[in-house]
């Protein structure tokens, strides 16, 4: 199956149910590992790195799955109500689409943190054999605490506590919404 058009997967239950977009390019042959791409915060499966890795995987005849977290790209969901736990749940659900094939988790920035959390879940579940490797690109390990909360001024923390959201200026366009829910 090609990855030209996105497919969709329902993740979560009740009010937390969301429709996640993904692209899965399965290899025509070969028994090499699959690749699961895990994007960074406010990035998506159409980013420069994701598309470049998809082209490389295709050339190497390796299956690759990339997806958009809820509140990102083509996926449903409100970024203001999403969290690392939600995105980890989504990563596990799309990993299941690969089947039993050994998989290399490739994560960039926040995706590196999610890759580490997903690898830990696989090991704890006795599924260590599914993990073929980890590639972490500038992993933002524990970004909500180390890179956000600990760097905020007392004034910003108070604003976040009262308003529930703070908009961090960005060099890449629109400000980044940092929510109390995300931090917690």
Nearest-angstrom CA–CA distance, 123 and 53: 25
Same domain, 70 and 16: yes
Other CB atoms within 10 A of residue 85 CB: 10
pTM of the model: 0.90
Domain that includes residue 184, residue range: 143-184
* Average per-residue pLDDT for the chain: 92
- Residues 6 or more apart from 158 whose CB is under 8 A from it? none
Q: What is the pLDDT of residue 85?
A: 94
- 2-21 pLDDT, tens digit per residue, is 457 899 999 999 988 999 99
Q: Largest Cα–Cα distance in the chain?
A: 57
Range 117-131 average pLDDT: 96
Burial class (CB in 10 A: 0-12, 13-18, 19+), 159: middle
**Residue 11 belongs to a domain:** yes
Same domain, yes or no, for 110 and 156?
no
Residues 27, 104 within the same domain: yes
- Indicate the number of domains in the chain: 2
Residue 152 has a pLDDT of 87
């Amino acid at each position: 199956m090609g990855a030209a058009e996105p497919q969709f997967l329902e993740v979560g239950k009740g009010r937390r149910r969301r429709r996640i977009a993904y692209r899965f390019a399965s290899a025509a042959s070969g028994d090499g590992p699959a690749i699961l791409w895990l994007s960074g915060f406010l990035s998506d499966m159409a980013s420069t790195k994701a598309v470049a890795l998809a082209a490389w995987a295709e050339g190497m005849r390796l299956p690759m799955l990339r997806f958009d977290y809820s509140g990102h790209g083509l996926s449903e969901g409100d970024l203001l109500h999403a969290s690392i736990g939600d995105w980890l749940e989504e990563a596990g659900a799309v990993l299941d689409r690969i089947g039993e094939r050994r998989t290399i988790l490739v994560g960039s920035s926040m995706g590196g943190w999610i890759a580490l959390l997903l690898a830990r879940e696989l090991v704890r579940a006795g599924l260590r054999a599914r993990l073929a490797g980890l590639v972490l690109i500038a992993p933002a390990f524990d970004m909500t605490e180390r890179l956000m909360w600990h760097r905020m001024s007392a004034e910003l923390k108070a604003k976040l506590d009262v308003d529930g959201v703070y908009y961090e200026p960005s060099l890449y366009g629109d400000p980044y919404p940092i929510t109390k829910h995300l931090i917690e």
